[in-house]
């Protein structure tokens, strides 16, 4: 992972519209953004569209002298999150094809089916959380962001992230338990 100063230098070069910096930003962040979008959307084509839209909006923001001044990674993930939740509002029923990692050679069909079922349950439950809670839980536990990085993405203090995380995990636990209850 890039250090904060590396990210700041790259962002400064991108603000100067340096092609190599823009390419480096895309190469560095597009794969993670795609995984994040694919997990939440459950559709490879929509995940690709999300990444393309995030970078298009990022370039427009840079051209207008706007965009992130700090925390580029957090800014891009927040844009992806907003795009995804706008998509959910437009079409509340999204196909839930499994996009988790493919089965390993040692997986038997029952293990693979169980993994698919769990992934779908988690995706459905995340969609039922309030957007800020879903963002915190996704960034913390699916993307591996630190508390500080999530705070930067949301523009809040770390304490607020902890509170959102606690409420989100509590609600997620409740939602997943409801699915299991007879």
At 45-73, the pLDDT tens digits run 999 999 999 999 999 999 999 989 888 99
Helix pair angle (44-63, 19-41), 10° resolution: 140
Burial class, 155, CB count within 10 angstroms (exposed 0-12 / middle 13-18 / buried 19+): exposed
Q: What is the CATH number of the domain that holds 112?
A: 1.20.140.160
Say whether pLDDT at 85 is over 90: no
**Segment among 50-59, 100-109, 126-135 with least mean pLDDT:** 100-109
Pair 132, 154: CB distance under 8 Å: yes
Q: Which domain holds residue 8?
A: 4-180
If DSSP codes are grouped into helix, strand and coil, which group holds residue 93?
coil
96 pLDDT higher than 60: no
As for how many domains the chain has, the answer is 1
Q: How far apart are CA 84 and CA 143, in angstroms?
A: 15
């Amino acid at each position: 992972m890039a250090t904060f100063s590396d990210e700041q230098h790259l962002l400064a070069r991108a603000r100067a519209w340096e092609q190599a910096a823009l390419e480096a930003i895309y190469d560095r962040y597009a794969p993670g953004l795609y995984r994040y979008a694919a997990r939440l959307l459950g559709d490879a084509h929509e995940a690709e569209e999300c990444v393309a839209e995030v970078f298009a909006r990022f370039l427009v923001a840079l051209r207008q002298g706007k965009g992130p001044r700090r925390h580029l990674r957090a800014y891009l993930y927040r844009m992806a999150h907003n795009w995804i939740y706008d998509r959910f509002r437009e079409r509340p029923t999204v196909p839930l094809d499994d996009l988790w990692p493919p089965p390993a050679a040692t997986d038997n069909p029952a293990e693979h089916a169980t993994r698919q079922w769990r992934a779908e349950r988690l995706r459905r439950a995340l969609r039922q959380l309030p957007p800020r809670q879903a963002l915190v839980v996704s960034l913390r536990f699916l993307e591996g962001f630190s508390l500080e990085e999530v705070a930067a993405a949301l523009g809040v203090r770390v304490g607020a992230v902890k509170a959102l995380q606690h409420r989100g995990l509590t609600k997620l636990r409740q939602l997943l338990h409801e699915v299991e209850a007879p």
